[in-house]
Amino acid sequence: MRNLIRTKSVYSVLKVLVRPEAKRSRAAFNQKALDISFSRLRYFADIATMTDRELDDTQLNLLQEECILVDRNDKNIGSASKKTCHLLKNIDEGMLHRAFSVFLFNKQGELLIQQRSDAKITFPGHWTNTCCSHPLNVTGELEEAAAVGVRRAAQRKLKHELGIEPEQVPVDGFHYLTRIHYRSNNVPDDKTWGEHEIDYILLSQRDVDIVPNENEVKDYKFVSKKDLKELIAKADAEGILLTPWFRLVANKFLFDWWEHLNNVDQYNDHATIHRM
């Protein structure tokens, strides 16, 4: 039944596209249909079958970004659009891409966390670490030595999501600690989207000015260790949504790092990809 509804939705879109021609001759009608770009028809068909939730135009445009495809050992094996990387049908076939998660602390030792905008396609309304995104298949962000490409991407996205100026978060100010490999279906589970990433964990401590992008960030706050432990403990019972990668990192690593912000490089583990 759901496939039938989707098929009708695609038909409806096509019908709208050719409606002005309906009163012309059948020959003219058929010619107009042939003239419509195949790629445009495919685009509408894909959108109609993506999800029942209305998708935000800005977030849809971001799906065109080219992410870096990797194998299980984080070797670059090509690229694919953000949309392609996050479709469950591709994840189920093993598609894996590179990502990063930033944990930004202020000088008082509080962690900046954000609540993802309701416009986000994956994990809308979820609380998560400071910034989570992907290095792109572009010059500068492909550079792998010392994870400098990932760190450049982190600087770019902190500006995009939270309005933090690049000079406040210099590339060499990120501590690259380790990598995690995780997979998760989207929440709410729409049977369409998911995550399958090798995620670089970056930590920095500095005071910054925040001007959030409302299309990306619904809310943000600085939390102490005690605050975050309480948030995680009550999240499920109170319906507070947490991203899976944030929960995984917090439960396994974060609080040890937090105790040693002045010497966090002791936790550097670049050889291991933690399978979670």
Q: What are phi and psi of 205, to 5 degrees?
A: -130, 115
For residue 43, the tally of other CB atoms under 10 A from its CB is 13
Residue 239 half-sphere exposure toward CB, CA atoms < 13 A: 1
Q: Are 158 and 216 in contact (CB under 8 A)?
A: no
Q: Which of 132, 141, 161, 195 is catalytic?
A: 132
Dist CA 150 CA 100 (whole Å): 7
Q: How far apart are CA 267 and CA 209, in angstroms?
A: 28
Residue 85 a catalytic site member: no
Contact 136, 153 (CB under 8 A): yes
Q: Residue holding tokens 């974060």?
A: 254
110, 161, 197, 216: the active-site residue: 197
Q: Which residues does the annotation mark as catalytic? A: 132, 197
